[in-house]
């Protein structure tokens, strides 16, 4: 079984989050035995995405352009900025249809135990973005977990010093839950009741 | 979030066994946000493995050569053939140090519910291999699951008609378990006690 390129594939698969050695082995065997076309497609998709996907200049989410589609849309309300942790959270808000402003995607959250502080999530860039003159309200839509609350707390301190209105999604969102798993009507209610 | 190459990456990751849409999203975000080098390494490993890895002419396991290392080793006992389901099972037997013959790797097992019959696991090629004159004993080391037992049963019928001795790993292996997860001393005992 000491096949160099098979072993290399198993090791490379282990770099995926949540994939241990047994899963990586199962994935490699499956691809080589039953889905080589899928393996080649995945190889192409990985190579292309790592080359094409960058961060939106304005909101920091993933995009292939200088500005993402939302930021480039003149119909969005540029006076409101909604701060989320991940593109998945942003997508959940979009699907809820309850928000028409712009976003700032942190691409993470403050997590002291993992050594992730305010600088790692680009808090300074958010403050600069919020201070650009057009923003009148910042909605903090980080998760209602300990880390999401800590992130919201730290950000609200900095944002309030800028003089912008800072709100938080209403606690209609069940405590302890990750935003991306919340049902859409709950998100919509929480958006209306933001405080 | 409708970034074409990001969406394509998420879809491609979903072809991995056991990966749903949420996992694929998490994997894609992780790679693009925190480990682009890992993504590129995985892309290279996939492309290389799909090109380089083929099947051993003799035992059907994965190899980059015409014959795998085990089959090419003149020190192995060519009069005994051990039939396993997967390269992972073969690796477990090798690690147990209890076996010095050759292998035949089915790359699957009979599973009527999934439409996998004797032909899909290369039963005919195994019979040809076992009938090549040098093989005196075939050890059926398929898993002790319903499907593994069914596979062993079907294969033993065909093999006995060839006049070779057909044995099965002793039931020291706990019933219902997959061979690759069994501890090595249990495998070694079952090898000694084969019937
Ligand atoms: Zn943007
Ligand atoms: Zn071989």
User: Does position A60 have pLDDT exceeding 50, yes or no?
Assistant: yes
Pairwise CB contact (< 8 Å): A9 & B88 = no
User: Does position A153 have pLDDT exceeding 60, yes or no?
Assistant: yes
- Phi and psi for B118 in degrees, rounded to 5? -60, -35
| Predicted model pTM | 0.78
Can you give the pLDDT at residue A137?
93
Q: Which two tokens stand for residue A151?
A: 């992130």
- Average pLDDT over every residue of B63-80: 95
Q: Is the CB of A32 inside 8 Å of chain B's CB atoms?
A: yes
- Phi and psi for B123 in degrees, rounded to 5? -60, -40
Residue B6 CB contacts under 8 Å (≥ 6 apart), including other chains? A49, A53, A62, B28, B32
- Average pLDDT over every residue of A61-80: 95
Pairwise CB contact (< 8 Å): A86 & B29 = yes
Encode pLDDT of A122-145 as tens digits: 788 899 999 988 999 999 999 888
Task: Name residue A103's beta-bridge partners.
Answer: A82
Say what the ipTM of the complex is.
0.79
- Average pLDDT over every residue of A65-81: 95
> Minimal Cα distance from B42: which residue of A?
A12
Alpha-carbon distance A41 to nearest alpha carbon in chain B (angstroms): 6
Rounded Cα gap, residues A65 and A188, in angstroms: 29
Ion ligand 2 nearby residues (CB, 5 A): B 56, 58-59, 68, 71
Rounded distance from Cα B105 to ligand 2 centre (Å) = 8
- Average pLDDT over every residue of B118-133: 85
């Amino acid at each position: 079984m000491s096949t160099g390129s098979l072993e290399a594939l198993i090791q490379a698969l282990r770099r995926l989050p949540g994939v241990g050695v047994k899963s990586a082995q199962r994935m490699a065997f499956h691809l080589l035995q039953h889905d080589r076309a899928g393996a080649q497609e995945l190889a192409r998709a990985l190579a292309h995405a790592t080359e094409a996907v960058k961060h939106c200049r304005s909101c920091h989410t993933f995009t292939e352009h200088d500005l993402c589609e939302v930021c480039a849309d003149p119909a969005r309300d540029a006076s409101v900025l909604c701060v989320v942790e991940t593109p998945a959270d942003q997508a959940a808000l979009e699907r809820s249809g309850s928000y028409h402003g712009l976003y700032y995607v942190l691409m993470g959250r403050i997590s002291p135990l993992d050594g992730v502080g305010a600088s790692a999530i680009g808090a300074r860039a958010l403050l600069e973005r919020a201070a650009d003159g057009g923003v009148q309200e910042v909605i903090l839509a980080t998760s209602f977990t300990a880390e999401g609350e800590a992130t919201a707390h730290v950000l609200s301190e900095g944002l309030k010093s800028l003089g912008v209105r800072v709100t938080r999604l209403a606690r209609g969102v069940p405590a302890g839950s990750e935003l991306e798993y919340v049902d859409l009507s709950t998100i919509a209610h929480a958006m209306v009741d933001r405080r």
